[in-house]
Amino acid sequence: MELARYSSRRRANGIAVFASVSATVIGMAILAVILGVLLWKGFGGLSLRVFTQMTPPPGSDGGLLNAIMGSLIMTGLGILIGTPIGMLAGTYMAEYGRHEKLTSVIRFINDILLSAPSIVVGLFIYEVMVRPMGHFSGVAGAVALAVLVVPVVVRTTEDMLVLVPNTLREAAASIGLPRALMIRQIGYRAARAGIITGILLAIARVAGETAPLLFTALNNQFFTSNLNAPMASLPAVIFQFALSPYNEWQSLAWTGALIITLSVLALSILARSLAGTRKTS
């Protein structure tokens, strides 16, 4: 009787362990298959042409230059707009209002913005920028990305400044440094690695965003540096080309997907190693 109970417990444990190991193996296998297919399909189309020519009309050769440039411009601008706002807000929450009710409200709202559907952000910017301006534009795309950057930067800035030891602040205050100077010269310096990690993660997040660009920046067959005109971006081009029936377009979509994935993965690995060195030192 005892023995039967013992062996049934053993069996239950064996099943659970087996399920746990297989779930992990399946998870890893999926990651391997996704990256493998991406490399296999994407590398075929990777050549210098991709970086030097514009997106082609159907049926002819071309590259992704305008899409890559558009992505760089809009991501860069989005980061430039979003980072200062996020850093300042995070600074207030960690330095001035750490125990205020306002701060917990903002933290709660910020966490929701952090995982809110990005397509809703696209609709928001459409309503406040595209509709009043009367046309799609690169600058609207950049602002939409900035809205996604802010919550990421707020979160990391606050987290990192809270980690700065209070003794540093007290030391600065004791020699008479005004608070604003103390934050800028002591706080930011101590939290620098963490804040940079946050910015890198924000870049990685928005670089692959498609949904908010679809109806803000739209797309463009040609290169433009005019922020007032529709602008191409890698994700939007991938979306258009992958769903098209043309082979050349589909192959370019895979190449674009490879470029995006590699840059996003490189950014997150860089961010991670930066955060890692900070922890060990």
Q: Which residues, numbered 247-266, are part of the site for another protein (CB under 8 A)?
A: 250, 253-254, 257, 260-261, 264-265
Is 232 near another protein (CB under 8 A)?
Answer: no
Q: Which two tokens stand for residue 229?
A: 């005109």
Could you tell me which stretch among 61-69, 72-80, 187-195, 231-239 binds another protein (CB under 8 A)?
231-239
Q: CB burial class (10 A; 0-12, 13-18, 19+) of residue 229? A: middle
- Select 48 or 115, whichever has its Cβ closest to another protein: 115
Is residue 29 near another protein by the rule CB under 8 A?
A: no
Which residues in the 96-135 window bind another protein by CB under 8 A? 96-97, 102-103, 105-106, 108-113, 115-121, 123-124, 126-128
Closest CB 226 distance from another protein, rounded Å? 20
Using CB atoms within 10 A of its CB, is residue 257 exposed (0-12), middle (13-18) or buried (19+)? Answer: buried
Instruction: Find the binding residues for another protein in span 44-83 (CB under 8 A).
Output: none
- Report which residue type is found at 250: Q
Q: Which is nearer to another protein, 139 or 241 (CB)?
A: 241
Q: Could you say whether residue 31 binds another protein (CB under 8 A)?
A: yes
Q: Rounded to the nearest 10 degrees, what angle do helices 138-163 and 101-115 cross at?
A: 130
Residue 52 vs 180, nearer CB to another protein: 180
Per the CB < 8 A criterion, the answer to whether 107 and 173 are in contact is no
Torsion, Cα 60 65 67 70, to 10 degrees, reads: -150
> Residue 54 gets which letter from DSSP?
P
